[in-house]
Structure 1
Amino acid sequence: MNHVLLIDDDVELVGMFAEYLEQEGFSVTCMHNGEDGARAALTGGYAIAVLDVMMPGAGGIEALRQIRAGSRMPVLMLTARGDDADRILGLELGADDYVAKPCTPRELTARVRAILRRTQAVPESGPGVVLSVGKLTMLPEQRRATWDGQHLDLTSTEFNLLEVLARNAGRPVSKNDLSEQGLGRPLARFDRNIDVHLSSLRHKLGPLADGRSCLQTIYRQGYQLIKE
């Protein structure tokens, strides 16, 4: 499925993005306000939503809240360059990644491809593989995960990052490797994306028997999923 939902009130910009995406083989639907965009996203007919944060009325952050209340579809945010507050809030609310505006259609398309490549990837270890680390069980082919038998409600990026950590359980994984393998792009300077996603994962995963989080920060090395 390669149907992209573009949600942005800048009609000219959206038209330019849509034209480029269609040339690259995507189907595109455009919405110009957050309310209509969220309603369309929740129909389930799209592979990914590209959502501008700054829109009049029901803005991008509110649209993201509405989408995340009923869907785990990938969401790529468009944010103002240097606007860290909205960017971090969006990631905390479940956005998968962001692109800072102004950006080129080529850059946007590359980011969309990176997210979909990870979301729709065939598991490396073949069909039917099960990853088990302590109370964590992951089924990459089905993109399902449980903790102590209870379903984990993860975004696509959270699932990707947790899968990378599970495949390397007991060993630290650098933030750059997590970005490359989990987000499909190199880690940018001053990028807090990985930190925000891992913070969210800590809240969703249960503690170890001794009360510690199973996701540990390893000084100057990255993050590690602890084996029990």
Structure 2
Amino acid sequence: MKLLVIEDEPKLAEYLRKGLSEEGYVVDVAQDGIDGLHLAMEGDYALVLLDGMLPGIDGLAVLAALRQSRQTPVLMLTARGEVEDRVRGLQSGADDYLVKPFAFSELVARVQVLLRRSAAPRAGGEPTLLRLADLELDLIRRKAQRAGQRLDLTAKEFNLLSLLLRRQGEVLSRTELAAQVWDMNFDSETNVVEVAVRRLRSKLDQPFERPLLHTVRGMGYVLEAR
């Protein structure tokens, strides 16, 4: 699931990118209002985290322009804590408002609430619940279970499984998995994929009679019920 962070403070932007990536999200970052608005309008994001004070175009102007054609959920991040500022942000179309400095745990909780809230209107778009045989993956709550048993997956294992499940029945190469899940572009890094697949298989298949994750020799991996 892709998130967009529009934040001009480099350290905070990197902190958010790293932290949200570790939570399992794919994160793009823009450091001014012009680039941020362009990405928000052109990209397919589940949520935008938007700083209120930005160079180029400020956060409220970005929000107003975005709302002319997109209803992407927006979480405003700002140092302005006065009631009037929060009201302006919400009246301009923000879905939630978080005042700096904030605890990262609260940010994650608010992100999850907004994603859950937006799941119903997204019917007909990207599914939020993926299934194969007795495997079920909830993309909003970031939970996986098989045969009613919860699978304890790391963030990367969850992302790997969600990609395989979205494209179930399709053989995905190690190079493609490395690029999609780890943002790696070199074949030399595909050993990371092999280790991750082995660990995922130990949780996904080994406790159960019917394997779902299969290796296609010389080609890659495929998730399917055989």
TM-score (norm 1): 0.51
Which protein has the larger Cα radius of gyration, Structure 1 or Structure 2? 2
Counterpart-to-counterpart distance in 1, 2:83 and 2:51: 14
> What are the ranges of 5 or more consecutive residues in structure 2 without an aligned counterpart?
126-226
Q: 2:19 maps to which residue?
A: 20
Which amino acid counterpart does residue 70 of structure 1 have in structure 2?
S
Distance in 2 between the 1:25 and 1:77 partners? 21
1:76 counterpart residue number = 75
SS of equivalent to 1:70? coil
RMSD, matched Cα: 2.0
Map 1:121-160 → 2, pairs under 5 A? 121=120, 141=123
Matches within 5 A, 1:20-169: 20-121=19-120, 141=123
Higher relative contact order (CA 8 A, sep 6+): 1
Work out whether residues 8 and 32 of structure 1, in 8 Å CA contact, stay in contact via their aligned partners in 2: yes
Scaled by the length of structure 2, the TM-score of the pair is 0.52
Equivalenced residues, count: 125
Q: What whole-Å deviation, never above 9, does each CA across 1:110-134 have from its counterpart, x for those lacking one?
A: 111110012115xxxxxxxxxxxxx
Aligned amino acid, residue 17 of structure 1: L
Distance 1:82 1:27, change over 3 A: same
1:31 counterpart letter in structure 2: A
- Distance in 2 separating the partners of 1:68 and 1:140: 16
Q: Give ranges in structure 1 of 5+ residues lacking alignment.
A: 122-138, 144-228
Aligned partners of 2:14 and 2:109: how far apart in 1?
17
> Residue 102 of structure 2 aligns to which amino acid in structure 1?
C
Equivalence for 2:188 = none
Map of 2:211 onto structure 1: none
Secondary structure of the 1:49 match is strand
Percentage identity across aligned positions?
42
